[in-house]
Structure 1
Amino acid sequence: MTQTMTSQISFDLKQVPTDLYIAGKWRPGASARRIDVLDPSTGLVISDVADATIEDALDAVQAAYDAGPAWAATAPRKRSEILRRCFELMVERKDMLAELISLENGKALSDAHGEVTYAAEFFRWFSEEAVRLNGEISTAPSGANKIVVQHQPIGVAVLVTPWNFPAAMATRKIAPALAAGCTCVLKPATETPLTAYALAALYAEAGVPDGVVNVITTERSGAVVSKMLHDPRVRKLSFTGSTEVGRKLLHEAADTIISCSMELGGNAPFIVFDDADLDAAIEGAMVAKMRNGGEACTAANRFYVQTGIVEAFSQKLTERMAALTVGAGYSKSTQCGPVINRKALDRIGGLVTDATERGGKVLTGGTALDQDGFYFPPTVIRDVPADAAIANEEIFGPIAALSTFESEDEVIAAANNTEYGLIAYVFTRDLGRGLRVAERLEAGMIGLNRGLASDPAAPFGGVKQSGLGREGAHHGILEFCETKYIAVTW
């Protein structure tokens, strides 16, 4: 293993666990194989982690299953206090966690700090929800009996998370699972496993009992996850990732009728009407597009700008994008870090080339930087045709693709012309128009005059092929519950 460190990192990377975490113990796994972890800012190997086998995964399921009855029987207040302690420890160590995220993910340090704050908040929110999992009592319309409804923990949950938000995508699942009384096996992405292992150690310190949270990394994700989903002890799958992989997992889960929560891909439209506050629209665009360098399922993907404002919007957005400082994620001066790996860099470059060949005009950026690491500069492309790949696929990079529109009906039809429906953004001074358009857009979330909609207290999720179920809010804890009805006569 080649290990290089930067003087800009304030902690010792060797202190971060790199083995599997099963039943409260760190173990190398049944295989001697290891998985290299790269620093996207340099392209160099910085660490390696254990590569779990199917046997390791089943051990993790067993550990979660064994820990389940005691955790489910734990008083809600006790579970709440443990989750609250997880929140407090994450806040106390936010600087270290942010640096770790920047190191293995590449995102700008400011974005990484924002992620830690967001990720920790799920523990605070669900620590409060843990004691408010209320049931219902009502009288049957016939008067024959009472209807008693309880929400009980669903059981062992398999949680599969992506690389783009290695802390938040994990806590958004772990916190409600634990609040509901479930135990879990987390399988983080191999690109960013160190954050998951660092947090596992933190959970143990906060008082999470052995076996309640287990963490495994593997390069054979398909086979390992499939085996867990076919284990009758597993009753829940919560997945965040691409729609393509989500479809496959739904097929796998169907064999054993496992409850599924799926947060899948997006192709978010960002609609700017002529009457929009231009400065607010630009600020919203910078957040919606450049949060995490565009590597987010909620990132604005297709910019639709009404013809009367397109010149001013294009000019201001180009100026702002061109002024961003590109560099190593963990450098304090960086505003846009590298993309995750070489494959992503090449894919983004291909999308830009396709758009320009179809008539799109590059206003800034447009070509990968010739240096170590995986850098693509913030890019604005105008007059992108509807048939360009960049208008139909998730970009997952710092590219803003602009098109124009004339009428409200036209832009709604264009925005809805996709299999995805995660989030949409609308900017207008006319509140009536904004709400009218929001109701007609086929998306699970709308940012109305806002470039950021994510909030642990709000239901996060999409429609169509962007997913099933919701995370966050009270809805999030219900995803990890079975609803039981008891007919009672007294």
Structure 2
Amino acid sequence: MTATTLSPTLVAHLPTGLLIDGHWGPASGRATFEVTDPATAEPIFDVSDATPADAVRALDAAHAAAPAWRAVPPRERSELLRAVFVRLISRADDIAALITAEAGKPLAEARAEVVYGAEFLRWFAEQAVRADGLVRTAPSGGNKQYVSRRPVGPSLLITPWNFPIAMATRKIAPALAAGCTVVVKPSELTPMTTLLVAEIIRSEAAGRGLPTGIVNVVPSTQAGPVTEPLFDDPRLRKVSFTGSTRVGQILLTQASKNVLRSSMELGGNAPFIVFEDADLDAAVQGALVAKLRNSGQSCVAANRFLVHDAVARPFAEKFSAAVGAMVTAPGTQPGAQVGPLINEAAVEKVTDLVDDAAAHGAQVLTGGSRLDGPGHFFEPTVLTGVSADARVVTEEIFGPVAPIVAFGSDDEAIELANGTPFGLASYAYTTSLARAQRAMDEIEAGMIGINRGLVSDASAPFGGVKASGLGREGAEAGMEEYQETVYVAM
């Protein structure tokens, strides 16, 4: 897919510059970078490449707009977010086509992402008017306690490439609802969708006479140099990042300088447990969703399949048959179910993990190879006979590969599930209420799907434990991440 196959009207109005203080413009150095289509490996857009000085200008704008935006009544902030939600839904087909162009995912998945991403705007439009406080008499009876919440202040939002609209709205919507202004640094791999969302917010805000500078966007290929001066600036009060644990650790170190409020949604290694009493047909259908959505390029993707010895063979046979029947093709092709990986480096990583597993005795039941170009495609793959310490089990795959590891007891399943530094998502299939309850109680993860292969919901708290991060997005907690609690004694 190329830019010319998108709606000509959409292409003509797509912003490709920086958004600072309500105005679009080039980077200060006039440099640009190419955005490529993963299905063809061809460039489709040139986008302005922000410099550190541009990022500081964006923070200048966010800081200047903060007092006025904080003073906007919650109802007006709510109505702005609701209006943006309506516009995104009304343009779902165009936005889905843009997601497919820059991220590669099949159009059906891209449309689902638009609906999911827009839902954060609707949810936080509703939450904007619900910044609850507290008034009570102190236990001593000597005074009253007043507790209120205030916006934390200008916030830096660093988003990943794999869900370009949902990752943007999941951060921008609660920040604006809470009364915070933002600087957004989108991934250089998929910046176009974020730029379009920002333009919709800008135009809606301008039409309502609301402050400019509430949303500023600085796409750049220089993530570290561009964001570093912001961490050194005391005007920045919050950072929210979605990405790898390694980068998150670096950012937390930088955030410590000014003791920034920090939300970190980091790496995952989700177990998908199939207990001996599981409904195997349901487990297979759930596994397809948990593993192959966005070609496995999701932080909550099932990374390792832990299956009881008694059902390991029939599950592997059913699952590999279903995976082998998936249609791998460019996202614009009718019937496409599995799209390309994001770039060549992703294909090389997945190939290396599969080759390593096969070299150590794993059996490839289906797939196992990259597909001929153009584009960055890898066959949906199922591996069996995989050891629990194989790299394809211990490392986050971020691709359409499902390694199956057998276990012999419930104790072993829980031990294997928890035997990782990560704890973002997990999945378990069982018809036993007792087993389900044990999984809920003992699996170390921030999100647990019981007989479900999909856990994400704008109204539910999204986040992990251990090395998978800090804080939560979505739900009531999502807006609290952008608020300070203030207590007054009278």
Q: Any idea what SS the aligned residue of 1:204 has?
A: helix
In structure 2, give the amino acid aligned to 1:446. Answer: I
Corresponding residue for residue 103 of structure 2: 105
- Listed as ranges, the gaps of 5+ residues in structure 2 are none
Q: Kindly indicate whether residue 82 of structure 2 is the aligned counterpart of residue 80 of structure 1.
A: no
- Secondary structure at the aligned position of 2:484 is classed as strand
Tell me how far 1:12 sits from its aligned partner: 4.4
Contact 2:175 2:182 in 1 (8 A): yes
Residue 441 (structure 1) aligns with = 443
| Aligned-partner SS, 2:238 | strand
CA–CA separation in structure 1 for the residues paired with 2:79 and 2:476: 18
Distance (Å, rounded) in 2 between the aligned partners of 1:480 and 1:331: 41
Instruction: Identify the residue that residue 352 of structure 2 maps to in structure 1.
Output: 350
Identity %: 50
User: Can you list the C-alpha shifts for 1:125-178, whole angstroms capped at 9, x where unaligned?
Assistant: 000000011100111111111110000000000000000001001100000000
Aligned to 2:286: 284
Question: What is the CA–CA distance in structure 1 between the aligned matches of 2:474 and 2:62, rounded to whole Å?
Answer: 23
Residue of structure 1 equivalent to 2:270? 268
> Which structure 2 residues correspond to residues 30-109 of structure 1 after superposition, within 5 A?
30-109=28-107
Letter in 1 for 2:147: V
Aligned residue for 2:251, secondary structure, equals helix
Which stretch shows the higher mean deviation, 205-214 or 160-169?
A: 205-214
Conserved 8 A contact 1:11-1:96: no
Q: How does 1:99-178 map to 2 (within 5 A)?
A: 99-178=97-176
Shift of 1:11: 5.5
2:222 paired with 1:220: yes
Per the alignment, in what secondary structure is the counterpart of residue 98 of structure 1?
helix
Q: 1:419 aligns with which of 399, 404, 421?
A: 421
Residue aligning to 1:370: 372
Q: Aligned partners of 2:68, 2:10: CA distance in 1, in Å?
A: 36
Q: Residue 9 of structure 1 contacts residue 330 of structure 1 at CA under 8 Å; is this kept in 2?
A: no
How far is 1:5 from its partner? 4.1
One-letter code aligned to 2:250? K
Corresponding residue for residue 192 of structure 2: 194
Task: Quote the residue 1:390 is aligned against.
Answer: 392
1:2-21 to 2 correspondences below 5 Å: 4-5=2-3, 7=5, 12-21=10-19
What is the TM-score with the length of structure 1 in the denominator? 0.98
CA-CA distance at 1:435 after TM superposition: 1.2
CA distance in 2, matches of 1:409, 1:9: 54
Match of 1:330 in 2: 332
Superimposed CA distance per residue, residues 188-229 of structure 1 (whole angstroms, 9 cap, x where no aligned partner)? 000001001111111123226310000111111101111111
User: SS of the counterpart of 1:182?
Assistant: coil
Q: Secondary structure at the match of 2:375?
A: coil
User: What is the DSSP-based 3-state SS (H/G/I as helix, E as strand, rest coil) of the residue aligned with 2:268?
Assistant: coil
Contact kept? 2:361, 2:385, Cα under 8 Å = yes
TM-score (norm 2): 0.98
Match of 1:312 among 311, 314, 320: 314
1: CA distance, partners of 2:165 / 2:124: 16
State the distance in 1 between where 2:9 and 2:363 align: 44
Change (3 A) 1:12 1:351: same
CA distance in 1 between partners of 2:22 and 2:397 (Å): 39
Q: 1 CA distance for matches of 2:483 and 2:139?
A: 26
User: Is 303-312 or 266-275 further displaced after alignment?
Assistant: 303-312
Q: 1:15 deviation in Å?
A: 2.5
1:180 corresponding residue in structure 2: 178
Report if the CA contact (8 A) 1:364-1:378 is conserved.
yes
Query: Shift of residue 7 of structure 1?
Result: 4.0
Query: Residues 354 and 461 of structure 1: is their aligned pair in 2 closer, same or farther, counting only changes over 3 Å?
Result: same
In structure 2, what is the Cα distance between the partners aligned to 1:246 and 1:295?
Answer: 18
Distance 1:209-1:377 versus aligned 2 partners, 3 A rule: farther
What count of residue pairs does the alignment treat as equivalent? 486
Paired residues for 1:440-459 under 5 Å:
440-459=442-461
CA RMSD of aligned residues (A): 1.2
Residue identity in the other structure for 1:217:
P
Structure 2 partner of 1:410: 412
SS where residue 467 of structure 2 aligns?
Answer: helix
Q: Which amino acid aligns with 2:391?
A: A
| 2:430 paired residue number | 428
The answer to whether the 8 A contact 2:149-2:483 is kept is yes
Corresponding residue for residue 233 of structure 2: 231
| Compared CA separation, residues 11 and 290, structure 1 to 2 (3 A) | farther
Instruction: Find the aligned partners of 1:218 and 1:328 in 2 and give their Cα distance.
Output: 27
How far, CA to CA, are the matches of 1:159 and 1:152 in structure 2?
Answer: 19
Opposite residue 458 of structure 1, the aligned amino acid is: A
Q: Is the 8 A contact 1:89 1:206 kept in 2?
A: no
Question: 1:238–1:260: 8 Å Cα contact kept in structure 2?
Answer: yes
Counterparts of 2:474 and 2:365, CA distance in 1: 38
Code of the residue aligned with 1:26 in structure 2: it is: W
Q: Offset at 1:122?
A: 0.2
Distance in 2 (alpha carbons) for counterparts of 1:88 and 1:463: 34
Distance 1:384 1:196 in 2: 39
Tell me the CA shift for residue 386 of structure 1. 1.6
SS, match of residue 214 in structure 1: strand
Whole-Å separation in 2 of the counterparts to 1:99 and 1:424: 31
Aligned partners of 2:35 and 2:45 also within 8 Å: yes
**Secondary structure of the structure 2 residue equivalent to 1:459:** coil
Find the partner of 2:202 among 201, 204, 221: 204
Range with greater deviation from structure 2 (272-281 or 176-185) = 272-281
CA distance in structure 1 between the aligned counterparts of 2:343 and 2:302, rounded to whole angstroms: 21
